[in-house]
Amino acid sequence: MKLLILNPISDIAIPGQRYRSVISFVPPIGIAYLAGALIQAGIDVDVEDQFASGNTNEYIADKIRRGKYEIIGISCLTPSISNIRRLVKLIREINPEIKIVLGNIHATVFPEEMLKDASGDIVVRGEGEYAFVEVVKAIRQKKKLQEVKGISFISDGKIVHNPDSDLTEDLDQIPYPAWQTFAFNLYKRYPMLGIYNEIILPIQASRGCTHSCIFCSQNIMYKKPRYRNSEKVLDEIEYMHEKYKTRFFGFNDAYFPFSVEHGLDFCKRLMKRGLHKKIRWITETRVNKVSLELLRKMRQAGLRLIMYGFEVGNQSILDSIRKQTTLKQAEDAMSYTRKAGVQSLGLFMLGLPQDTEETCRQTIDFAIRLSPDIAKFNITIPQPGSELYNSCKDSLINAKPEDFTSWSDWISPNGSIIYAPKNITREKLLYLQREAMFRYYINPKHISRLLLKRGFHVKDMYLGAKLIVGKYLKEILKFQSRTRTA
Ligand code: B12
């Protein structure tokens, strides 16, 4: 029984779209974990990451014809839904016998839609390792699907939702991600980090989050937070380093490390193994989970870049999104990070429900004051599965799946912004995002620091500057002239 797992491309990321030139592709660890569990169950798995490869649907159709797959699993993220519908139609034309299994967040939030409209056969809800293996076994042994937990499917024309699968309490029981099923050459360009020709291999030390920020859809997938044993995480890093000679690892946890104590202990264990001489790693964390001592230790232990979700520059907005951090903690975290000599990336959001033009400007000013090496200004997207989505979904009814595409300096293909808070127009929000990028990057102090500090390729810096000056300045001036004449 051969099985293919597909990670479809979203319309905006199709080759030729300028958007593609600014993305750094990361191999999806969720699919690697699925492949690991399936291979351990004796199932032969192929993976096609169309998002990273940019292969056409025709290419994939050909691969399916040649591959003689009986089951095709499709990873469903909202911006890719239009293309998923096209792919399912294509697969049905090739061989209507092929079983199509859908998973990931969009399928988990909208199982009925994915069975009816996208016409998949089965939806695996939530974490998929064990449920997917059970689905494949049930199909193989022609067993009733009613016995498989964590899935939804169509039976006699009716949609059936089986009870949720039991949560995997001990994450260290899950087989290692099967990275051998991925084409590493697709993932070797991180201009933002000055890393070229090397993959940053994802590693996961936990699932779920102790917090519930209104814009995040984490908790609908992972329910409760669970943590791996540090020695087991280090075993995996050592194993992957030996097997694939990978030097860079990226933690994709909600935040890592989980506390200052946990971080100090993790670094001590890593250095005891001498891994700090062999690898470098990047991570994302919360501003209230670091100290100067920890950041210094993490740097010694090979930390290459730390990302902070600073989000906004106004405390009452920060409280309104339930981030549970303070502006003071953000300032302290940045000063510790600079003192420890760790490269930093700051994530900021514009257009949250309580935002006004003034509070967005406070966020831009705050970003410039914090001055992380790299800053991303995201225009808020109410992602399905998040509380924010539930609170404003009625106003999004006409939105198309690809309109949920958000990348720091990009908006949906047709140029419209899907959501703006009551006090700001969509047009103004785009203007503020452009102003943020322009004021943040087109400043001599920042440019000189970027040039002096890291191995950025001047070509990529030129590309970034061309984008910001070429595209954004034009948009800013156009908007100003329009509002002046209005
Ligand atoms: C790492 C990451 C990336 C990486 C890797 C992408 C990937 N597909 O994993 C990169 C940087 C490439 C990326 C890109 C994008 N991302 Co992203 N990403 C994440 C992040 C931070 C972690 C995801 C992860 O690794 N989870 C851990 C693994 C173990 O879990 P998992 O992926 O959910 O997989 C499990 C289940 O979902 C399920 N499953 C998954 N796939 C399948 C398939 C089948 C057949 C089955 C049965 C089960 C199944 O089983 C897996 C194992 O348990 C999440 C935020 C978060 N913290 O969750 C955002 C997130 C998933 N990304 C998001 C988005 C929007 C995108 C982009 C569309 C952005 C854009 N504008 O283009 C692109 C699309 C890329 C693509 N099609 O792959 C949104 C999705 C929201 C939504 N409703 O769709 C999230 C939730 C962030 C957010 N803003 O809310 N992303």
The model's pLDDT over 296-312, given as tens digits with 9 standing for 90+, comes to: 999 999 999 999 999 99
Q: Using the 8-state DSSP alphabet, how is residue 407 labeled?
A: B
Ligand 1 contact, 73 CB (< 6 A): yes
Decide if pLDDT at 246 tops 90. Answer: yes
Please write the tens of the pLDDT for every residue from 19-56. 677 678 899 999 999 999 999 999 999 999 999 999 99
pLDDT band of 486, cuts 50, 70, 90: low
Ligand 1 contact, 27 CB (< 6 A): no
Q: What is the pLDDT of residue 185?
A: 93
Ligand 1 contact, 83 CB (< 6 A): no
Other C-beta atoms within 10 Å of 91: how many? 24
Q: What is the pLDDT of residue 415?
A: 55
> Measured in angstroms, how far is the CA atom of residue 115 from the centroid of ligand 1?
20
Decide if pLDDT at 413 tops 70. Answer: no
Question: Which of 206, 189, 207 is closest to 198 using CA atoms?
Answer: 189
Q: How far is CA 427 from CA 157, 395, 417, 432, 435, in A?
A: 45, 17, 8, 9, 12
Ligand 1 contact, 104 CB (< 6 A): yes
Please write the tens of the pLDDT for every residue from 360-380. 999 999 999 999 999 999 999
Q: What is the pLDDT of residue 449?
A: 74
**pLDDT mean across residues, the chain:** 91
Question: Which of 97, 96, 104 is closest to 73 using CA atoms?
Answer: 104
Domains of the chain: 2-161 (3.40.50.280), 188-380+419-485 (3.80.30.20)
Please write the tens of the pLDDT for every residue from 317-334. 999 999 999 999 999 999
As a whole number of Å, the CA-based R_g of the chain is 23
> Measured in angstroms, how far is the CA atom of residue 194 from the centroid of ligand 1?
24
Greatest mean pLDDT range, 130-144, 440-454, 467-481: 130-144
pLDDT band of 424, cuts 50, 70, 90: very high
Q: Which of 34, 76, 77, 418 to mutate to test the pocket of ligand 1 (most atoms within 8 A of CB)?
A: 77
Decide if pLDDT at 411 tops 60. Answer: no
Ligand 1, atom 4, residue with closest C-alpha: 26
Q: What is the pLDDT of residue 455?
A: 56
72-87 b/e with 16+ CB inside 10 Å = b? Answer: bbbbbbbbbbebbbeb
Q: How far is CA 55 from CA 7, 58, 60, 112, 216, in A?
A: 11, 8, 7, 29, 30
Q: Which of 17, 69, 75 to mutate to test the pocket of ligand 1 (most atoms within 8 A of CB)?
A: 75
pLDDT band of 342, cuts 50, 70, 90: very high
pLDDT band of 457, cuts 50, 70, 90: low
Ligand 1 contact, 440 CB (< 6 A): no
Please write the tens of the pLDDT for every residue from 89-128. 999 999 999 999 999 999 999 999 999 877 899 999 999 9
State how far the Cα of 164 lies from the Cα of 160, in Å rounded to an integer.
12
Ligand 1 contact, 384 CB (< 6 A): yes
Ligand 1 contact, 30 CB (< 6 A): yes
Do the Cβ atoms of 130 and 37 come closer than 8 Å? yes
> Measured in angstroms, how far is the CA atom of residue 77 from the centroid of ligand 1?
7
> Measured in angstroms, how far is the CA atom of residue 320 from the centroid of ligand 1?
25
